[in-house]
Amino acid sequence: MNTLAINQLSTLRWDMQDDALAYANRGFSGIGIYRPKLEDFGLDRTVELLAESSLSATSLSWAGGFTGSDGRRFDEAVDDAMVAIREAANLRAGTLIVLAGGRNNHIRNHVRRTLLEALRRVSCVAEEFGVTLSLEPIHPGCGYEWSFINDLESCLEIIDAVGSPNLGVTLDTYHVGMDDDIVRWLPDVIPHLRLVQLGDGHHCPLGEMNRCLLGEGNVPIATLLQTLRMHNYRGPIEVEVIGEDVETLQYDCILDHAKGFLDRVLPDATRATLS
């Protein structure tokens, strides 16, 4: 059955220990690790905490930015990805999420070549460490500086060009779920799918990322989950809720709502998690 998890961005102001306790107490068996929190708490302490809490690291966020859009040089971004791979290996993380980087005033062919070169280098090291990488498409309305890979078709083209068995896809429903073609694309994506992140929104992303509580927006999450199960997706599912629409809510309320939503749409999975 799918491992159900919460991504730490959902409880950004809490520390690692608070996150682990709250997630485990609600019956979640996974946690999506955010690297700044990992750095604050320490890798060794985090490994011990996950074991004590019976939580698995479903993902580590993130590596990438290879195009220089975040101010780093190409080699700096690649070196940082190598560090992240070692962190992911120690955490036994299900996947290391990779963001391509923005266009950064370059032509598309240039940034594509840059990304391919980076992924080929990084994938070789990931294979040695037994770490799975997953490229995440980001909606241009809220993440043009993070990634020039904005849709599933572009993501699959890059994966095919790299040709590494360790490279797959992270599908975040907030970024791609309002695409009318999403259900049509899912059967092609599922063989490469390493992680599903659940996010909802009242409208297509525009400006700052602004997610709402699951099931209260316009992303057809229940339909997408049904399609994934129909095509036998058994990988991890993370909840990621962050943005202006939820910033006034207590984190406990957000987690309780997420648990209730998953109980309704994935009752078999939540029972398996708690058994």
What is the CATH architecture of 4-274? Alpha-Beta Barrel (3.20)
Distance CA 3, CA 248 (A): 28
Q: Which of 3, 48, 47, 55 is nearest to 25 (CA)?
A: 55
Q: What is the residue-wise DSSP string for 172-195?
A: EHHHHTT-TTHHHHHHHHGGGEEE
Decide the pairing of beta strands 56-64 and 96-99: parallel
Report d(CA 269, CA 275) in Å as an integer.
Answer: 10
Domain ranges of the chain: 4-274
In which region does residue 259 sit, left (phi positive, over 0), alpha (psi from -120 to 50) or beta (all else)? alpha
Q: Which of 180, 271, 183, 275 is nearest to 229 (CA)?
A: 183
How many other C-beta atoms lie within 10 A of the C-beta of residue 22? Answer: 17
Q: Take residue 100 and report the two structure tokens written for it.
A: 């391509």
Q: What are phi and psi of 169, to 5 degrees?
A: -125, 140
State the pTM of this model: 0.93
Walk along the chain (275 residues) and give the pLDDT tens digit of each residue.
Answer: 799 999 999 999 999 999 999 999 999 999 999 999 999 999 999 999 999 999 999 999 999 999 988 889 999 999 999 999 999 999 999 999 999 999 887 888 899 999 999 999 999 999 999 999 999 999 988 887 889 999 999 999 999 999 999 999 999 999 999 887 888 888 889 999 999 999 999 998 888 889 999 999 999 999 999 999 999 999 999 999 999 999 999 999 999 999 999 999 987 654 444 43
**Strands, E, within the chain: which ranges?**
4-7, 30-34, 56-64, 96-99, 133-135, 167-172, 193-198, 237-239
Structure-block tokens of residue 256: 């309780």
- For residue 133, which of 158, 102, 105, 108 has the smallest C-alpha distance? 158
